[in-house]
Amino acid sequence: MNFLNTNTLHNALNVLIWLPTAIAGFLTATGCTTLANGNFDCTASWLPPQDALWIAAGAGFIKTLVNLQRDGLAGLIKPQPPVK
């Protein structure tokens, strides 16, 4: 059984996109504060928001590269076939 394919990678990257941003949102709600100058103070948080942003942006970029390699530029806008 070959489960490691582009669909698996695509879904793993989906998790890498939402998980860090959800963690950053949770940390903002529970530990990070906004200073008077607009900066975040996340000394109580274990994942700074900027790290979550880089993880999510990197995963989204990799997803786009995988889609381009798999389907080509036209594949980014063509309708997907139905699931069998």
Q: Where are the domains of the chain?
A: 18-71
What's the pLDDT score for residue 2?
66
Q: Is the pTM of this model over 0.85?
A: no
- Residue among 18, 7, 8 nearest 56 (CA): 18
13 within 8 A of 63, measured Cβ to Cβ:
yes
What's the pLDDT score for residue 76?
66
Asked whether the predicted pLDDT for residue 1 surpasses 60, the reply is no
Tens-digit pLDDT profile for residues 22-79:
777 776 676 777 789 978 787 766 777 677 778 777 888 888 888 888 878 777 667 6
Q: Cα dist. 45→20, 26, 38, 83 in Å?
A: 13, 10, 17, 41
